[in-house]
Structure 1
Amino acid sequence: MSSRIPAQPAAESGSHRTELEARPGHEPAAAVSAARGRALRDGDRQIDTAHLLHPLLESDPGVRAVFDGGPQVARLLGCLVQRSIGYGPGRQGAVEGSGAVPVVAEAGWSPAAAGAMERACVRAGVCGGTEVRCLDLLAAIVADPRTRAVEVLRRAGVDVRVLLPRIEGASRSACADE
């Protein structure tokens, strides 16, 4: 049976994946691990931004706090669950952010998720920290309007234009507390 997502050459998959996974701080490390498990359970060969968004929402109170309360978070989690079981519109579509970029095999990173992790690392450095926080990763995911996570956010009724400034405010507050 042929996979719906083509594999990337091995020379490009392993070291980049290891480097990305070694970078998160203690906060999002569990989310990254959960996203990897979710991608594998879903039969996906890569972690995309929606895979990352799901455990961020489930596990981090600071992430949930930037949304419009419990009903919005519940709607969003519902959309993410539907997506993971194959009911979300367009779920079986193309690779996220692929363009001409090959896909990472063995539940590696989609180009968009890898870019989000890189941006989250930069954000952590701006705060003076060396560890990425969940809010850094959320901000990096939301900053790219073409990601699957942003598509899910919009489908759940989240106004992404309002969300990003909320994340920035919460991030500044967290930086000040450190």
Structure 2
Amino acid sequence: MASVVAGARRRALRDGDRQIDTAHLLHSLMETDPEVRAAFDGAPQVARVLGYLVQRSIGYGLRWQGSVEDSGALPLLAQPGWSPAAVTAMEGALARAGARGDARVGGTDLLAALAGDPECRAVEVLDHAGVDAGELAARLVEAPPSRQVSQG
């Protein structure tokens, strides 16, 4: 998970954002974790999500620069450098790992937490890429990490 967070931090800095948001986390997950990519409905869906994330990083698509991501999940008091929704997602991923007795958070734990917050930027990205985030979250809840397979 450290490499995912480091990648999200680099992306936020490169994009000129003050905070790591859930879209930065999603982008880093998609680039680094094969289990996360396998959770989607096949390579075309993965390509659409990555394509949309790349467009965002070069200035096309959704524009959030300079604004604070607030999904409504928490009051607007965040960890420095993190959006409130990103903090909530990380806490959700930790809780999911803990519920199965694992101290280590996997990429699919974080993906499930991201997809489960309908108000976060990551879900907005997924929606624009044609991914049903609710269905993705439900699929991830049903299958533990390392046993998840795409339906496509």
Q: Which consecutive residues of structure 2, in runs of 5 or more, have no partner in the other structure?
A: none
CA RMSD of aligned residues (A): 2.0
Q: What is the TM-score with the length of structure 1 in the denominator?
A: 0.75
Distance 1:72 1:127, change over 3 A: same
Aligned partner of 1:84 among 49, 57, 60:
57
Aligned partner of 1:146 among 114, 119, 123:
119
| Residue type of the alignment partner of 1:157 | G
Q: What is the TM-score with the length of structure 2 in the denominator?
A: 0.87
Name the structure 2 match of 1:127.
100
Distance 1:163 1:154, change over 3 A: same
Identify the range of structure 1 (114-123 vs 163-172) with the bigger mean alpha-carbon deviation: 163-172
If each structure's helix is expressed as a fraction of its own residues, which one has the higher value? 1
| Aligned residue pairs, count | 146
Secondary structure at 2:143's aligned position in 1? Answer: helix
Larger radius of gyration: 1
1:34 partnered with 2:27: no
Secondary structure at 1:117's aligned position in 2? Answer: helix
Secondary structure at 1:171's aligned position in 2? Answer: coil
Q: 1:154 & 1:173 partners in 2: Cα distance?
A: 25
Aligned partner of 1:114 among 84, 87, 112:
87
Name the structure 2 match of 1:167.
140
* Contact map agreement 1:95 1:103 (CA 8 A) in 2: no
Distance 1:92 1:33, change over 3 A: closer
Q: Which consecutive residues of structure 1, in runs of 5 or more, have no partner in the other structure?
A: 1-27
* Contact map agreement 1:112 1:147 (CA 8 A) in 2: yes
* Contact map agreement 2:26 2:111 (CA 8 A) in 1: yes
Q: Deviations over 1:66-111 (max 9, x none)?
A: 1111111011001111111121134447321176615655xx1100
